[in-house]
Amino acid sequence: MSNALRSPDAKVPNRALKAARSAQRRQIRTGLLFVSPWVLGFLAFFLYPFFATLYYSFTDYSGLGAAHLIGFANYWALFHDSLFRTSLFNTFYYTAVELPLSTIVALGLALLLNMKVKGMAFYRTIFYIPSIVPIVASCMVFVWIFNPTNGVMNSLLSNLHVPGPDWFFSVSWSKPSFILLGLWGLGQPMVIYLAALQGVPKDMYEVASLEGAGPWHRLRHVTLPMISPIILFNVVLQLVVCVSYFTQAQVIESQDVGGPGTSTWFYVQYLYTQAFQFLKFGYSSAMGFFLFVITAIITTVLLKSSSRWVYYAGDDR
Amino acid sequence: MITAPQVLPPRTSPQPSETWARRRWAPQKLLTSATKHAVLLIFTVVFGFPLLWMVLSSLKSNPQALQSPVVWWPRPFLWDNYPNVINAVPFYRFVLNTLLYAAITIVGVCLSSSLVAYGFARLRWRGRDALFFVMLCTLLVPFFATLLPLFILYRKFHMVGWYLPLEIPTFFGSSVFSTFLLRQFFMTIPEALSDAARVDGANEFYIYSRIILPLAKPAMATVVLFQFIYCWNDYIGPLIFINNENWYPLSIGLSFVLGTYSTNWPWVMAAAAAATAPIVILFFFTQRTFMGGISIQGTGTKG
Amino acid sequence: MKALAIGSALTVLLAPGTAGASALKPDGGVVNLTWETMWSGPTLLLLKQMTTAFNASHPGIRVTEENIPSATGDAKLQSQIAAGDPPDIFTEWNPVIGEYAAKGYILNMNTYLTGAYKGFVKWMYPLAAATGTYKGELVGVPMSLNSWALYYNKSIMKAAGIMSPPTTLAQLTADQAKEWIIKGGKLSQIGMYPGANGYQYFSTFFGALNCFNSAGQYDYANTKTCPGATALMNWLTDFKSYPYAQVNSMNATYGAVAGGDDDPFVAGKEGFNMDGPWEGAQNIPDANPSMEGNFGVIPFPGTVGGPSTIGQGNFNIIPEGASNSKDAFEFITWLAGYNNVKFTSNIDPQGGWVPAGPQIAAAPAYQAYVKKFPWMTTYLEQMSSKYSQAPVLTTNQEQANTAMATASNDVQDGSMSPAAALKYIDTQANASS
């Protein structure tokens, strides 16, 4: 069929060509019809603000009044802004550590729970609850537990004769402290992994074991491929969450914004400060757009690579 | 490197003793039961300890909570902290506001996200994957960067001051999380099912509503649960768009407790625990419904 | 879709009568004003008293107070202004007023300084008026003023063998050094630690505020024209040897997380602390009554030759686009105490607020308050002192403040040298787009 569409010289009846094309058009129409709610919402609630932000990034807009175009001035200023570089570094440090760690731990726990353990409902609930505790409350609990002088963690460590670090108040331990806080909330991806694992058909495992596949082999060649669509899902979403890290840092470092030194100035925090405290909306729009581009590139790489390691049982695509 | 699932080539003719062994052979275990429980116990302590601390602190008196060296057990148990803090703010009204907000968005998400997910998962059409990528990209724009133009837009539609800016978009597929989740799960349903229906003359909407949706009940239940939890804890959204105190959801109500009683740690912890308990209970009792396998494979149909 | 219809119907049915921030048209001749604040805690009760009293005495105006969480309050205000739908009055922290005024976010109130209000600016303390004036235009009116002085803990002082409170900077540094208790690496008592407020709030004591070059840019690093800045930073390095992390963790323990009001001084664990009158008037009685009577307040022994304080406080502004600015102005002046001396002189003591005008301080109710708490005289003295300074309102004022906070912390934890810190402040403050 494709040959017919490509070679104009071939003696192909016009009817077949037309039929092929109209079938394609029909498919596009049906597809678009189903996704139309999203398309409408996208046009109405996303496109305008997105292009407005892009536009503002080339202006000196303060949030009110006229916006004067100033070309790439904001973007040049970004690269000379040491705080921009610092906040970018901090956010990507956090992402680079938190993303793999949380994926491995969440997946590991889900695999563990999937092994017909007694009391699974209980364990599952316990691991999940931290991710639904209100953010402000979980921040306060952590700050308290990890308080260098009065906190439970350091008092436990001192009982083991290990000097406890200054956690959130130490230049080198502040980011790891936030990472720990983030890991505490990995109940959500874990629960999704577990659900996916429980959906893997048992007969696949049976066949594999009958052929002599050991448990490790089954894990690598049956389990993981079968849930790979969900792994992709969680990784992409967790990337977005890590890159837009804001609330926890704002709450915990409210007295010393940016933490000890500038170790916990996160990107979105700086963006918020520029937009709403310094009234430099144009500049913060440039920051926002810059982050968008970087994250889009990472996501593209992830999705493109996914065709090599993600397996969809529903169809061969 | 994860590859498509494979099975090993069959071994050469089995010996009688091997056959016998295979019939009674249970699959080897990766870990012994003891190791499993040990690991789980360690993680339970790690995850559960801060929760325990939160609850214990909520039952202490304020001086006891701040004592150094650390006091573990409340002496006495101030159960009164809970009714006191609940009565200090219009707790039940906040809960009602949150429930209403969640209910409306759940309807919106179930309707629109499942339709959109079907379009991305079960149909093949030109431009589909590109559009899906665009949808994912909408997640990548930081909220505060687009807030100002978004706010102006909502005001043009007269939606500011109510929950509308948070609710109406959910009817238009704004929950990319839900759409993405459903798309991934729809894609695990064998294409053969759809093909058979198409051969029988069914249109796509019929397939969507009569075949795919019923099979995806656990996935939909997951979406409902997560949307509920999201609404329960949503803070920044209502903060920006709701002006009237009577309409505040529980998440903002909690921050009022924090602001008003910041020197009373036990009260703050009690408020946090009171705000978390309902969804914990909800999760505990509903986890079975959607944990039964959100991939279609679980039903045992051989594709 | 059916669901959408039901959804919006429910929302409409259950919506309260008036949702929305903008003032409505006069109904029955009554002007409705919306007043947004970011306070929390016991202050809210005071605000209620104030609105009730105003509404009772001004039958043609009805003020509704709306309280929004401070975490993203700025974003909310600016969104509302940008959308053309702002509240009539908003209470903001003064450092942002300069940039708001420069960019046209808030109204110039000079137009209302006529008739009965002609003498309003003169009625206020010069410091109060200056802190709310941008290039000659009155843009913010204080309702509570801040003033900073040195609290000292009597029992800690006694235990350290210090006979009387310090009168010079050198004495203060030496005294507080005696009061630190660090046993086995663990901190249990702080002598003094300026912290993030180091540069900004101490600046007037060293004459280190408002240093500009001829081009109007911030110029704190200039040792010739602004020696006070270097002197202040050098003094801050004295605190390098103290455990920054432990001090901050102690702050966090006593409620500093997420904007709490409590601090180690209130808990009786700090020897010296710079703070405003609310510390003694509200925080201590509320959080730790055992500290009452165990503290005193003295002017900070700075180098300028007399008591001083930086102009600071919660100022009422009228956002651009507010519908009833004239009535809003009336309310704002009433809140400040103009033509309202008796009521304000009763409210201010409850909040531990320094009044906006000397007439209120002289009123009997306030005088009785000062008699009860003699340490309040320090604060009042500073309001009229010639050494007190209001920070000049500029477009980059908030950037300067944020940079000062970071620089203060970094100098005190040893990660920045004084010269580098001042340069950092200048660079960040002068960054424009």
Tell me, yes or no, whether C198 and C181 share the same domain: yes
| C15 domain residue, yes or no | no
What rounded mean pLDDT belongs to chain C? Answer: 85
> Among A237-246, B170-179, B279-288, which stretch is predicted with the lowest mean pLDDT?
B279-288
| C374 domain residue, yes or no | yes
Average pLDDT estimate for B178-189 = 87
Residue A226 forms contact with C (CB below 8 Å): no
Chain C: closest CA distance from residue A190 (Å): 29
Collapsed DSSP state (helix, strand, coil) of residue A105: helix
C387, C308 Cβ separation under 8 angstroms:
yes
C31, C62 Cβ separation under 8 angstroms:
yes
Number of residue pairs across A and C with CB atoms under 8 Å? 124
- Number of Cα atoms under 13 Å in the Cβ half of residue A73: 15
| C121 domain residue, yes or no | yes
Domain boundary among C379, C404, C421: C379
Tell me, yes or no, whether C224 and C343 share the same domain: no
A104, A291 Cβ separation under 8 angstroms:
no
CB contact under 8 A, C256 and A278: no
Strand order in the sheet with C272-275: C272-275, C149-153, C295-298
A76, A84 Cβ separation under 8 angstroms:
no
Residue C19 in tokens: 């949702």
Find the closest chain C residue to A69 by CA distance.
C433
Tell me, yes or no, whether C273 and C420 share the same domain: yes
C255 confidence band (pLDDT: 50, 70, 90): low
pLDDT at C176: 92
Tell me, yes or no, whether C316 and C233 share the same domain: no
| C12 domain residue, yes or no | no
Q: Tokens 């509302």, residue?
A: C80
Which of C44, C69, C286 lies at the smallest CB-CB distance from B252? C69
Residue B146 forms contact with C (CB below 8 Å): no
CB contact under 8 A, A63 and C105: yes
Which of B111, B163, B260 lies at the smallest CB-CB distance from C40? B260
Mutate: best of A57, A62, A181, partner C, most C CBs <10 A:
A62
Q: Using CB atoms within 10 A of its CB, is residue C226 exposed (0-12), middle (13-18) or buried (19+)?
A: buried
Which of C72, C246, C428 lies at the smallest CB-CB distance from A148? C246
Nearest-5° Cα angle at A102, A100 to A107: 100
pTM of the predicted protein model: 0.81
Tell me, yes or no, whether C283 and C396 share the same domain: yes
* Strand pairing report for C149-153 and C295-298: antiparallel
pLDDT at B261: 64
CB contact under 8 A, A136 and B272: yes
Q: 10 Å Cβ neighbour count for C311?
A: 26
Of A177, A304, A298, residue with least CA distance to A238: A298
Q: 10 Å Cβ neighbour count for C294?
A: 15
Q: Helices B128-137 & B91-121, crossing angle to 10 degrees?
A: 160
Find the closest chain C residue to A64 by CA distance.
C82
> What is the per-residue pLDDT across C20-61, written as a single tens digit (0 to 9) for each?
333 444 456 789 999 999 887 778 888 999 999 999 999 999
Instruction: Please name the residues in contact with C345: beta carbons below 8 A apart, sequence gap of 6 or more.
Output: C337, C355, C360, C363, C364, C365, C366
Residue A92 forms contact with B (CB below 8 Å): no
CB contacts under 8 A, C 64-103 vs B, are: 66-72, 75-76, 78-80, 82-85
Find the closest chain B residue to C67 by CA distance.
B245
Chain A: closest CA distance from residue B48 (Å): 6
Which of B163, B168, B239 lies at the smallest CB-CB distance from C69? B239
Tell me, yes or no, whether C111 and C194 share the same domain: no
| Separation of alpha carbons A150 and A167, rounded Å | 12
Residue type, A82: S
> What is the per-residue pLDDT across A97-139, written as a single tens digit (0 to 9) for each?
999 999 999 999 888 888 777 777 888 888 988 988 888 778 8
What rounded mean pLDDT belongs to chain A? Answer: 84
pLDDT winner (highest mean) among A87-96, A219-228, B181-190: A87-96
Report, in this order, helix, strand and coil percent for chain B, each rounded to 5. 70, 0, 30
pLDDT at B39: 87
Tell me, yes or no, whether C108 and C253 share the same domain: no
| Separation of alpha carbons B180 and A38, rounded Å | 12
CB contact under 8 A, C84 and B155: yes
Residue A65 forms contact with B (CB below 8 Å): no
CB contact under 8 A, C19 and B162: yes
What rounded mean pLDDT belongs to chain B? Answer: 78
| pLDDT at position B91 over 80 | yes
pLDDT at C14: 35
Tell me, yes or no, whether C324 and C351 share the same domain: yes
Tell me, yes or no, whether C370 and C415 share the same domain: no
Sequence ranges of the domains in chain A:
2-56, 79-308
Average pLDDT estimate for C407-416 = 85
Of B190, B195, B215, residue with least CA distance to B303: B190
Phi, psi of B47 (to 5 degrees): -80, -35
Phi, psi of A3 (to 5 degrees): -60, -45
Residue type, C289: P
Fold for the domain defined by A79-308: MetI-like fold (1.10.3720)
Collapsed DSSP state (helix, strand, coil) of residue C175: helix
> What is the per-residue pLDDT across B233-272, written as a single tens digit (0 to 9) for each?
888 888 888 877 788 888 888 777 766 666 677 887 888 8
C195, C408 Cβ separation under 8 angstroms:
yes
CB contact under 8 A, C41 and B259: yes
**Euclidean distance between the first and final Cα of chain B, in Å?**
25
| C13 domain residue, yes or no | no
Q: Tokens 């409590």, residue?
A: C262
Collapsed DSSP state (helix, strand, coil) of residue C64: strand
Residue A150 forms contact with C (CB below 8 Å): yes
| Separation of alpha carbons A88 and A274, rounded Å | 14
CB contact under 8 A, B291 and A141: no
| pLDDT at position C19 over 70 | no
Tell me, yes or no, whether C305 and C178 share the same domain: yes
User: In sequence order, what DSSP letters do the residues of C235-299 get, joined into one string?
Assistant: HHHGGGGS-HHHHHHHHIIIIITTT-S--TTTTT-BSEEEE-HHIIIIIHHHH-GGGTTSEEEE-
Q: What's the domain range around C212?
A: 149-309+390-429
Using a CB-CB cut-off of 8 Å, the residues of chain B touching C80 are: 151
Chain A: closest CA distance from residue C398 (Å): 6
- Number of Cα atoms under 13 Å in the Cβ half of residue B174: 20
CB contact under 8 A, A313 and B297: yes
CB contact under 8 A, B256 and C1: no
pLDDT at C18: 33
Which of B148, B252, B259 lies at the smallest CB-CB distance from C79? B148
Long-range contacts of C240-244 (CB under 8 A, 24+ apart): C240/C411, C240/C412, C240/C413, C240/C414, C242/C180, C242/C190, C242/C191, C242/C193, C242/C412, C243/C182, C243/C187, C244/A169, C244/A260, C244/C409, C244/C412, C244/C413, C244/C414
Residue type, C4: L
A261, A168 Cβ separation under 8 angstroms:
no
Please list the alpha-helical segments (H only) found in chain A: 2-6, 14-41, 48-56, 73-80, 82-113, 120-128, 135-145, 152-159, 174-184, 187-198, 202-210, 215-218, 224-243, 247-252, 267-272, 281-309
Find the closest chain A residue to C81 by CA distance.
A64
Find the closest chain C residue to A144 by CA distance.
C253
- Number of Cα atoms under 13 Å in the Cβ half of residue B197: 16
Find the closest chain A residue to C398 by CA distance.
A278
CB contact under 8 A, B244 and C76: no
CB contacts under 8 A, C 221-250 vs B, are: none
CB contact under 8 A, C78 and B148: yes
C224: CATH: 3.40.190.10
Strands (E), C38-102: 61-67, 89-93
Mutate: best of A132, A281, A291, partner B, most B CBs <10 A:
A132
* Domains contained in chain C, number: 2
CB contact under 8 A, B40 and A113: yes
- The percent of residues in chain B predicted with pLDDT above 70, rounded, is 81
CB contact under 8 A, C255 and B108: no
Using a CB-CB cut-off of 8 Å, the residues of chain A touching B141 are: 50, 53, 288, 292
Tell me, yes or no, whether C129 and C156 share the same domain: no
- Number of Cα atoms under 13 Å in the Cβ half of residue C387: 21
Residue C358 in tokens: 């000397």
Residue type, A186: L
Chain A: closest CA distance from residue C429 (Å): 10
CB contacts under 8 A, A 287-306 vs C, are: none
User: How far, CA to CA in Å, does C306 sit from each of C129, C302, C356?
Assistant: 21, 8, 21
Which of A149, A251, A257 lies at the smallest CB-CB distance from C250? A149
CB contact under 8 A, A81 and C431: yes
> What is the per-residue pLDDT across B133-161, written as a single tens digit (0 to 9) for each?
899 888 887 777 788 788 878 877 778 77
Chain A: closest CA distance from residue C408 (Å): 10
B294 confidence band (pLDDT: 50, 70, 90): very low
C277, C353 Cβ separation under 8 angstroms:
yes
Residue A151 forms contact with C (CB below 8 Å): yes
| pLDDT at position A315 over 70 | no
